[in-house]
Amino acid sequence: MRILLVEDDAMLADGIRAGLKLANYAVDWVRDGDAARLALLDHAYQACVLDLGLPRRGGLSVLEELRGRGSQLPVLILTARDTSADKIAGLDAGADDYLTKPFDLPELQARLRALLRRAGGAAVPTLTHAGVVLDPASKRVTHNGQPVTLSAREYTLLHDLLRHKTHIRSRGQLEESLYAWGEETGSNTVEVYIHNLRRKLGADFIRTIRGLGYQLRDSA
């Protein structure tokens, strides 16, 4: 799952990126509002963590433009601005959540999980399909009640397919969710992870839609 982090403090950004990577997120980092605007125009993200006090263009301006384009991207404001007026301004500009610094990384992770859950239309924290249950909080996966061991990338790919289980996901879309900027991708990387998931969850769990991509099989 790919996240855009917009933060001008390099030390803080490094810590957030490391923590989110351990939680199986691919994180792109930019440090000013203009770069954030371009990244949001050019790439497909599942969520954005946005500071307000940014060089070149403020976070509220970035957010207002994003919402002005009709984007429903979940946005969590992460800022040192902690007055009620600041929080109201951020939420009224279109933020889905507002977290003030200093903060605990587990809380940031939990808030991101909640945003992504709501964005996917899920009322419960677990994702389920055809006997497979994925718990984003614990990172545990079971198949017909039995635990399944997945690599970080296999987990991320399964999470993406479960969140979009009624849709066909193209190879490009899956790669976007798997890799952040600068991470090398092989020519058949997605196919390898699909093969591994089929081996662990059943050969027919993921369907190949010729010329289009992949989709979870009918659960009926």
- Looking at the structure, tell me whether residues 107 and 133 fall in a common domain: no
Give the pLDDT confidence score for residue 117 in this predicted structure: 86
Q: State the average pLDDT over residues 202-212.
A: 95
Polymer length in residues for the chain = 220
- Looking at the structure, tell me whether residues 27 and 112 fall in a common domain: yes
Question: What's the number of CA atoms in the CB half-sphere (13 Å) around residue 95?
Answer: 24
Predicted structure pTM score: 0.77
Give the pLDDT confidence score for residue 110 in this predicted structure: 94
- Looking at the structure, tell me whether residues 103 and 159 fall in a common domain: no
> For residue 107, what are the domain limits?
2-119
Where does a domain end: 74, 93, 119?
119
96-136 tens-digit pLDDT: 999 999 999 999 999 999 998 888 776 567 889 999 999 98
Strand 146-148, strand 140-143: pairing: antiparallel
Helix (H) or strand (E) holding 23, with range, is none
Confidence of residue 184 (pLDDT cuts 50, 70, 90): low
- Determine phi and psi for 134, rounding to 5 degrees: -120, 125
Distance CA 26, CA 124 (A): 23
| 2 touches 180 (CB < 8 A) | yes
Give the pLDDT confidence score for residue 187 in this predicted structure: 64
